[in-house]
Structures are given as structure tokens and as C-alpha cells.
Homo-oligomer: A and B are copies of this chain.
Amino acid sequence: MKIEEEGQPQKHECCKSLNAIEDALYVIGGKWKLRITLALIDGSKRFNELQRLLQTISPRVLSHELKELELNGFVQRKVYATEMPVVVEYQATEYSLTLKKVLDALVEWGTMHKEKIKEISAPSLTHP
């Protein structure tokens, strides 16, 4: 094997995976997008409902994130003009369901990690 080729196939695979993660995070990275998507997969919601659920998000940021999620095909804005005042609801699209595995893996990992942190910090709480 030539020196310049050493480790190339493995590196190539790793690069491909790195690029794929970059592509994913470019669209769904950041603090809010996956959380908004999860909340909407759980059921359509109005703006205020979402804001209450996500607690620390500002209306400006929520509005911006929803627009980006809509642009990327994860969220659909539904306007019910038959009611007065007009009701606007956000709903998860079918495409957002492709994120289910990512969301499930993150929820599972987050739950496990919190448990681990609790276990680690528990002894120091009993012996301050």
C-alpha cells in the first residue's frame, strides 16, 4: 500500500459520515428546530401554545424558527379563516416524520444521560 493511500478507505467513510451530519445539522441544528418539530409531531399547535410549551423561547425567535421550518418543509401553517378571530395553527408535515428516528435517539440519549448525571451527583448531595 502506498503511503499516501494509507487509511484512505476508512477516512473516506468517516468523511462521508461527517458530511452527512453537517448536512443534517445545517437544516435541523440549533437550539430549537428539533424541539419545535417534536412538539408539532405530538399534535398541531397555535403560536402561543408552542411558546408556552417551549418556555424560554422568545416570540421573535419562535417566529423565525417556524418560518425556517416551513421553508424546509417540516412545518405547515394552517389558517382557519372561517372562525373569527382567524385561527392560525402550525402542524408537522409528513416530511418531518422522517426525523422520527433522530428524535427518538435524542430523547432516549437525553433521558439516559440525565439519569447518569443524577447518579453521579447523588453521593455529593448526601455528603455535602
- Which residues of chain A have a CB within 8 Å of any CB of chain B? 10-11, 13-15, 17-25, 27-31, 34-35, 38-39, 42-43, 53-54, 98-99, 101-114
| Cβ–Cβ contact A29 & B31, under 8 A | yes
Q: Which residue of B lies closest to A29 (CB)?
A: B31
Q: Which residue of B lies closest to A102 (CB)?
A: B105
Given contacts A14-B38, A18-B35, contact A108 B101 (CB under 8 A): yes
Q: In the complex, what residues of B have CB within 8 A of residue A107's CB?
A: 17, 20-21, 24
| Cβ–Cβ contact A113 & B38, under 8 A | no
| Cβ–Cβ contact A106 & B35, under 8 A | no
| Cβ–Cβ contact B110 & A99, under 8 A | no
